[in-house]
Amino acid sequence: MSQLALAIEAKVSPRHVSFVETGRAQPSREMVLHLATTLGVPLREQNGLLLAAGYAPIFRESRLDAPELRTVRIALDAMLAKHEPYPAVVMNRVWDILTTNAAAGRFFQHLLGDVPMPSPANVVRMMFDPGGLRPFVRNWPEVAEALVRRVHREAVGGVTDDATAALLADVMAYPDVPERWADADPDAPLVPVVPVEFAKDGRSYAFFSAVTTLGTPQDVTLQELRIESFFPIGEETERNIARLSS
C-alpha cells in the first residue's frame, strides 16, 4: 500500500505518514494503532509496532483456559457439539489442535489405531507424516500441496512468523514432498474447495472443510483461533461416519 493510499484511507496527511515511515516524526500511541488498524495489522504485530515506537503493548495474549475466556470456551464447545457427528477442531495460529469435538476424536482414533496422537497434535504435521494421517489420505498430493499454500496464505495477516516458518520447514523435510511446493506463490488463486478423501478398512470418508474465525476480538489468542469443521461429501461418508458413532 502506498503512502498516499494509506494516508487517504486513514484520513491522515500524506506528509505525516511519510515522516512516520522515515523516522522524521514520532507517532503517538493512538497514531500507531490507527495506522495499524487501517492496514489490517494483526493484534500480535500491533503489539510489536507499539514496542518499536516506545510504547507498552496493549493487547493481551491469554491462555484459552484463562478464567476471562470462559464465555468464549462455552461458545466454542457449543459450536463443536452442534457439528456432531462430523469432525471439528479448534486450532491456534500454527495449526496445533487445542480442542476437538467427540467426532474428531473418534475419527482420528479410527485412522491411527494404536498410534498415539502427538502432543500437541498439529494438523499440518499429521497430514505430512508417513506415520500419521498421510497413509490414509487417498488424494494426498492434491491435499498436501493445497495445505502448504494455505499455511502460507493464512499466516495471520499475511505475516509468516518464526513459528510458521519452522512449521513449513518441517513439513517440507518429510519424504517425497516436492521442493517446488516451497516456492509456490501464496498469492496465486486457490481452488475454492479441495476435498480430502480418507480411506481405511475398505471404508471411504470424503469431506470438505470450512474455517471459522472470531469476529472482532481484542485478545491475541482469540484473533488467532481457527475452528475447522468437516462436512461429508456423499451418502457413503454419511453412512460410514454413522457407523463410527454407533
Q: In sequence order, what are the residues at sequence separation of 6 or more whose Cβ sits closer than 8 angstroms to the Cβ of residue 105?
A: none
DSSP assignment of 62-99 equals --TTSGGGHHHHHHHHHHHHHTTTS-EEEE-TT-BEEE
Indicate the pTM of the whole model: 0.83
Domains observed in the chain: 3-52 (no CATH), 67-245 (3.30.450.180)
| Span 218-236, pLDDT tens digits | 899 999 999 999 999 999 9
| Span 101-150, pLDDT tens digits | 999 999 999 999 988 888 889 999 999 999 999 999 999 999 999 888 88
pLDDT at 168: 87
Percent of the chain at pLDDT exceeding 90:
67
Q: How far apart are CA 208 and CA 126, in angstroms?
A: 18
